[in-house]
Structure 1
Amino acid sequence: MTDSRVSLRVGVATETARRTRNEDSVSVSDGVYLVADGMGGHEAGEVASRTAIDALRGLGDGTPTPADVRSYVRAAHAAVRDLPSITGRRPGTTVTGVVVTTHGETPCWLVLNVGDSRTYRMAGGVLEQVTRDHSEVAELVERGLVRAADAQHHPRRNVVTRVLGGGASEVEPDVWLLPVSPGDRMLVCSDGLTDELSDARIQAELRAEDEAQAAADRLVAAALAAGGHDNVTAIVLDATLSAR
C-alpha cells in the first residue's frame, strides 16, 4: 500500500539483448518496485527470478518495515531453494528495489538488495548508488586491491557472493530506509545495464529525459547500443509529494 502523499510516475523497460531468453523479472505495482536477475541456466534463471518476485509482492500490503523486508526475503530465499535443480546447478537470483512505506509520519523508500543488481537515487540531477554490490569485485575494491575505475571491466565482475537460492542455507538482505524527497528519481536495474554503462553515463541519460518511461527506454537502448551482452532491465520512479 503506497502512502497517499507520494505520487509516482513509473517507467519500465526490459530487453533480452544477446541472450536466448530473458531471465530478469520485475514488480511494478502496489508500491513494490523490484528487479530480480535469475541464474541457473535454461529456464531455471527465469523461474528463479519470477519465484522471488512473487514471494515479495506481499510487501505492498500495509506499511512494511525493515524487519518485514528481512522476513519476506527469507521466505523468497526458501522458495527459490525449493526449486528443482535441472542442470545440476542450483537456481538463484539477485533482487533489488524499493518499497514505498511510512516511518512515523514520514514517507520513505524502503530499499532492499541481495546480489549485484542495483538501486540508485538521483536528487538535484546527481546520481548516487544506494545499494552495495554483493560481488567478488566489490569486495576487492573495498579492500583496495582493485581500483573502482577498473571494476566495471574486471573478469570477475559478475561473480556474486550473495543470492536468493543457490547453495547458502540463509541469506541476509541489505536494507535502507530513506525519506522520500520531492523530485527524487529512483532507478532499479539489473547488471545488464551497469555492465554496459558507467554511472556517469547513466546519470547523463537520466538527465536527458523528463518522463519516467522515456528515461527507462533510453537507458535500455543505450545499453543495447553499447553491446547488450546480457538481459537488461530498468525501472525509473519519479516522486512528487503532497500534504496529507
Structure 2
Amino acid sequence: MPEATESRVVPFASGTIELRWSDVTHRGRRRENNQDAVLSAFPLFVVADGMGGHIGGEIASSRTIERLSAAVAAGEVSPATIESALEQAVDDIASHTETTDDGTGTTVTGVFLDLTGDDPTWVTLNIGDSRVYLFRDGALAQVTTDHSVVQELISAGRLSPEEAENHPYGNVITRAVGPSDGVVPDYVRLEVLDGDRFVICSDGLTKELTDYGILHFLLQHEDPTEAVDAMLEAALENGGRDNVTIIVLNVARTDSSPAAD
C-alpha cells in the first residue's frame, strides 16, 4: 500500500503552487512479477508499463524510470532532457541481449511542471497506452491518447468505445520505448489551475475501473494516498488481471494579490 502523501510548495513569479501526491504499484492478482515502475519526484511524475518476456519488461520499465530519475536529479526536466533520457534507456534495454529483443519495451506516461515561462504550465508526455487523466471543475477527462490498435480503430470510426473494452487486440500497443521504436513522446501543455487533480496510471487500472469509477474514488477521497489506496483495492477486487500503478497529484494554486495603492 502507498506511503503517506508527499507535498511540495513551489514559488513562482506571482504566487505559489502547492502539490500533494501519492503513488502505488502492485503486481496484481494474476501476474508472477511486476513489470510496472513509477517515478514521483518533483517536477516529474511518470508511470512505465514494461512488456516483452518474463524479465525483459521489468528491465525496460525500470531502466526508463532510472534514466528519467537521473534527469530530475540533474535539475532540468524538459522535452529535450526527457528524450535524451529515453534514448539512453533504449540503449540500456538493448544491452541486455540475454533477456531483451526487438519486442521488449515500455510505455512512459506522465506530467511535469514547467516553470520556465512567465506563467507555470503542466506538460503531459505519452508513449504507449498508460494514461494521464485530469480532474477539473468536477469532471474527469483523459488528456493523453492511447497508442494502441484499439484506439486507431476507434479514431477511424470502425470501433465504438464500448466494443473496445473486450476487443481481442486490447493489449496491442503501436508505440513503446524500446529497440524497435522512437523515443519522442506526444506532449500536451495545460494551464495550472487551483483545484486540479491528475491521475497517472498503467492499463492495469483502466482494465478494471471505468473512467466513472476513477472519478468516483477521486470524489470520495481528497487525500491522494486514500485515493490511490481505494483505486488499487477496487482494481484488485475487480480481477487484478495486470500490474497496477497509480499516481494521484493534487494542485493548489495561490496568486499574489496586486499591491494596494
With the length of structure 1 as denominator, give the TM-score of the two structures.
0.92
Aligned match for 1:159, one of 153, 162, 172: 172
Q: Does 1:37 align with 2:49?
A: yes
Query: Which stretch of structure 1 is more off in the superposition, 66-75 or 157-166?
Result: 66-75
**1:58 Cα deviation from its structure 2 partner:** 4.0
Could you tell me whether the CA contact under 8 Å between 1:3 and 1:101 is conserved in 2? no
Aligned residue for 1:232? 244
Q: Give structure 1 regions of 4+ aligned residues with deviation exceeding 6 angstroms.
A: none
**1:80 Cα deviation from its structure 2 partner:** 2.7
Distance in 2, Cα, partners of 1:69 & 1:3: 21
The one-letter code sitting in structure 1 at the alignment partner of 2:89 is A
Distance in 2, Cα, partners of 1:2 & 1:33: 16
Could you tell me whether the CA contact under 8 Å between 1:63 and 1:102 is conserved in 2? no
Aligned residue for 1:74? 87
User: What stretches of structure 1 of length at least 5 have no aligned partner?
Assistant: none
Aligned residue for 2:140? 127
Distance in 2, Cα, partners of 1:59 & 1:157: 32
Aligned residue for 1:137? 150
**1:24 Cα deviation from its structure 2 partner:** 0.6
Q: Does 1:99 align with 2:112?
A: yes
The one-letter code sitting in structure 2 at the alignment partner of 1:112 is L
**Deviations 1:95-132, CA, capped at 9 Å, x for gaps:** 10111122422122121100000011101221100100
**Alignment RMSD (CA, Å):** 2.0
Name the SS of the counterpart of 2:255 in structure 1.
coil
Distance in 2, Cα, partners of 1:88 & 1:50: 16
Aligned residue for 1:8? 19
Could you tell me whether the CA contact under 8 Å between 1:19 and 1:231 is conserved in 2? yes
**Deviations 1:63-94, CA, capped at 9 Å, x for gaps:** 53334433433333333333324265642111
**Deviations 1:12-35, CA, capped at 9 Å, x for gaps:** 122111211111101111321110
Identity across the alignment (%) = 40
Q: Does 1:24 align with 2:36?
A: yes
Distance in 1, Cα, partners of 2:98 & 2:140: 39
Aligned residue for 1:178? 190
Q: Which structure is larger by alpha-carbon Rg, 1 or 2?
A: 2
The one-letter code sitting in structure 2 at the alignment partner of 1:161 is T
The one-letter code sitting in structure 2 at the alignment partner of 1:226 is N
Name the SS of the counterpart of 2:115 in structure 1.
strand
Distance in 2, Cα, partners of 1:225 & 1:51: 30
Distance in 2, Cα, partners of 1:149 & 1:163: 25
Aligned match for 1:202, one of 201, 214, 225: 214
Q: What aligned pairs does 1:45-84 form with structure 2 within 5 A after superposition?
A: 45-60=57-72, 61-62=74-75, 64-84=77-97
Name the SS of the counterpart of 1:164 in structure 2.
coil
Distance in 2, Cα, partners of 1:116 & 1:204: 22
How many equivalent pairs are there?
243
Query: Which stretch of structure 1 is more off in the superposition, 231-240 or 193-202?
Result: 193-202
Distance in 2, Cα, partners of 1:2 & 1:57: 20
Distance in 2, Cα, partners of 1:59 & 1:100: 14
Query: Which stretch of structure 1 is more off in the superposition, 178-187 or 67-76?
Result: 67-76
Could you tell me whether the CA contact under 8 Å between 2:64 and 2:85 is conserved in 1? no
